[in-house]
Structure 1
Amino acid sequence: MDTSEMHPERLWNRKYVHVLLMEIVMQMALYLTRPITASYAVSLGASVAAAGFVAGLLATAAVVVRPLSGSFSDLFSKKNLLVAAAALFAVSAFGCATATTTLMLGAWCAVQGFAFAFKSTLIISMASLVVPRESLGSGVGWLSIAYTVACALGPAIGSSLGGSFGYSVVYLLSACLLVVGFVLAVTFKAPAASSHHAPLLRGADVRSKMSLAVLFRPSTMFYGPAIAYSLVAGLMMVAQGTTNTFLVFMGERGEVQGAPLYFVVYSIVTLASKPLAGRISDRQGVAAVVVPALAVAAIGMVQLSLIRSALAVCVAAVCMAVGQASAYAALQAESVRKVNERKLGRAANTFYIGPDIGMGLGPVLGGFVLQTFGASATFAFNAAALLLSLLVFLAYRRRS
């Protein structure tokens, strides 16, 4: 086996750029629709709380399938699984575009969640195999730029097209982008480790009853050292999920001024903050990034709960980009750092379980707070979730 193919000397190599392109296209497709899902559900007759539940179904469904996505990604060909996930992603987006009831929309959002669980695990696993080990934090940081670009352009484009042509048109555009992602997945030349390196199960074993038992072993589904980082990231994503789901909606109701500016400013600042956070975590450790970052993010949400002007929205976006986005990238890189190739899938998968739960709970809890207490209380709720994540991280570091 050519180990240089698995871990090259340069960060910016051809395979890494291909993985980055896949992530950019798929994240853009997702963020065209994610911030408008609640509004789409309301237009189909759902209440605000029910719309939050529907918007959170993607993350909730991802949590359900996460244990198996980690097992499968370590046991079988990562490329083949990524191709299948990309295809399912595209089909589910077409399904959302044709939904005529809240129930149909929710069902297709759940299918998207299943595809998303595999996609996210496989992308980070493949990226870990095609970058130098000593540059993993930087690699994950740059990979997160896909999310940044999508978060900058997706909500603005999606909300504009949704208001002018209808929400189903936005989902149709998302589906077309996901078809492009499918083509990129098919043409990706996977490194040896992702398809042939030391498989735990071989042909005859896969068909046996014993192989099925292996898939459901806790040691096969989860990676213990990543659990604490998953919990911290999950609490952070409660705030992120609430903001992404309801900020545009609050802007449409006149409760927040300049809501679309949040996503633009957040993304511009994140372009610099995530790669920088990756370099700092590579050199000084994860705590050097996470502790100050989460404090800054909480401050941003507190000030937005007090002042909801366009300027306050921009300040909150800067704080969340410097804070939440940087902390998330550092935790994500730490969860797969120095992990053996045979365990990369379950390590990445275990980390994502917390954020999936957070993204699922955020819209549900945040929707309840918004409907019951209003916008100010919703941002205060976000700040509390961020402070709790900081306390959990500090407790874990002190104990370990």
Structure 2
Amino acid sequence: MDVAEMSPERLWNRKYVHVLLMESVMQMALYLTRPITASYAVSLGASVALAGFIAGLLATAAMAIRPISGSLSDVFSKKNLLVAASAIFAVSALGCATATTTLALAIWCAMQGFAFAFKSTLVISMASLVVPKGSLGSGVGWLSIAYTLACALGPAIGSSLGSSLGYSSVYVLSACLLIVGFFLAIAFKAPEPASGRKDVHRRIGNFANLFKPSKMFYGPAVAYSVVAGLMMIAQGTNNTFLVLMGEQGSIQGAPFYFVVYSVVTLASKPLAGRVSDRYGVSVVVVPALVVAMAGMVQLSVFHSALSVCVAAACMAVGQASAYAAVQAESVRGVDERKLGRAANTFYIGPDIGMGLGPVLGGFVLQTWGAPATFAFNAIAILLSLLAFLAYRAARRSTA
């Protein structure tokens, strides 16, 4: 590989577009089913709290495998691991489609979580290698548009198909998209590590080294992982229960949330990435989280369709922009040989947040209702802001 390919001059190069396409397909496959998983579990006989637990299993399982997925992705071929993860993702989606008990659904959701852990780490690592170093924030911002479009279209399509054809049909469609992602992963020409394959063989000589904390985690990314994890508690709660709240009549216009969130995010995330690249992460994160918190507070008081749309816009400008900014910061300037660990370490927090959100949020919803659930989300975002401010203050004091 020549130097130009290793350090691309343009953000929109062929390899980056390929990564973006893979992420778009796999995110759409995920969000077709994620918002309906709780309803699917309820239809199989689960309580609301248990349904929240099952819906959060994808993130919980991903968190469980994170300690080794990052180190493995730094040692073995990123492309081969992504191909394997895509295959497991597709098979587990088919497994969910055939589930007839909550236990079976839970097992297949956990399998999806294992595959998701590798997929998310590998995609951000590959993106970091194929974009210009000075455009990493913009690259991550545009990459997260895949999530945004999936969040906009997936729940609407999944909910419609789920109610008309049954939840199993949605998982079959998800599996078909994941098979497309599998073939895209096979076709991707991943950059070879600068260290070369000989160095890879030397590093895997002592396999036990993969399980050392220094090989599994990347210290500088831990703080950003905590910040992202706290804000994703709110996101996980919303993604899991908004459709159910709408079906129960607790709020009006629940489907509008995903549409408005996605449309606003299409504009806010790329802008946040450029601002973060130019002025620093704090300029984006602090005001963004304040806006997100305000959106959840007002939705805890007002429950109309307009309030849902306002909350969606606030979360798009706030949580979505802040998440993209801290995600880019967690891998900015990281050595190529540690990219997997850095990306993996960052995702541990969001995995915990997306797992805890449905469990804690489901308990709050079942016990105190929808207003308390949105107030709970606001508290989670406030804690995220405080954690970010504390970390930046600690960095300034030690600089």
TM-score bucket (shorter structure): over 0.9
Structure 2: how far apart are the matches of 1:161 and 1:297? 30
Question: Pick from 186, 203, 215: which aligns with 1:220?
Answer: 215
Question: Pick from 299, 302, 306: which aligns with 1:304?
Answer: 299
Q: Following TM superposition, where does structure 1 have runs of at least 4 consecutive aligned residues deviating by more than 2 angstroms?
A: 196-201
Question: Pick from 343, 352, 355: which aligns with 1:357?
Answer: 352
Structure 1: how far apart are the matches of 2:7 and 2:49? 47
How far has the Cα of 1:132 moved from its partner? 0.1
How far has the Cα of 1:198 moved from its partner? 6.1
Residue 181 of structure 1 aligns with an amino acid whose one-letter code is G
Residue 352 of structure 2 aligns with an amino acid whose one-letter code is I
Structure 2: how far apart are the matches of 1:298 and 1:247? 17
How far has the Cα of 1:199 moved from its partner? 6.4
Question: Pick from 301, 314, 323: which aligns with 1:319?
Answer: 314
Deviations 1:133-172 (A, max 9, x none): 0000000000000000000000000000000010000000
Q: Which residue of 2 aligns with 1:202?
A: 201
How far has the Cα of 1:3 moved from its partner? 2.7
Where do residues 1-400 of structure 1 align in structure 2 (5 Å cutoff)?
A: 1-193=1-193, 197=196, 200-202=199-201, 206=204, 211-400=206-395
How far has the Cα of 1:200 moved from its partner? 5.0
Query: What 5-or-longer segments of structure 1 have no aligned partner?
Result: none
Aligned-pair RMSD on alpha carbons? 1.1
Structure 2: how far apart are the matches of 1:357 and 1:77? 27
Residue 202 of structure 1 aligns with an amino acid whose one-letter code is H
SS in 1 for 2:193: helix
Structure 1: how far apart are the matches of 2:146 and 2:113? 18
Structure 1: how far apart are the matches of 2:386 and 2:358? 22
Residue 86 of structure 2 aligns with an amino acid whose one-letter code is A
Residue 167 of structure 1 aligns with an amino acid whose one-letter code is Y
Structure 2: how far apart are the matches of 1:7 and 1:226? 23
How far has the Cα of 1:67 moved from its partner? 1.1
Structure 2: how far apart are the matches of 1:38 and 1:327? 27
Residue 155 of structure 2 aligns with an amino acid whose one-letter code is P
Structure 1: how far apart are the matches of 2:210 and 2:2? 28
Query: What 5-or-longer segments of structure 2 have no aligned partner?
Result: none
TM-score normalised to structure 1 length: 0.97
How far has the Cα of 1:201 moved from its partner? 3.6
Deviations 1:115-137 (A, max 9, x none): 00000000000000000000000
Structure 1: how far apart are the matches of 2:125 and 2:4? 17
Residue 233 of structure 1 aligns with an amino acid whose one-letter code is A
SS in 1 for 2:333: coil
Tell me if the contact between 1:198 and 1:342 (Cα under 8 Å) persists in the aligned partners.
no
How far has the Cα of 1:197 moved from its partner? 3.6
Residue 114 of structure 1 aligns with an amino acid whose one-letter code is F
Residue 317 of structure 1 aligns with an amino acid whose one-letter code is A
SS in 2 for 1:368: helix
SS in 2 for 1:137: helix
Residue 356 of structure 1 aligns with an amino acid whose one-letter code is D
TM-score normalised to structure 2 length: 0.98
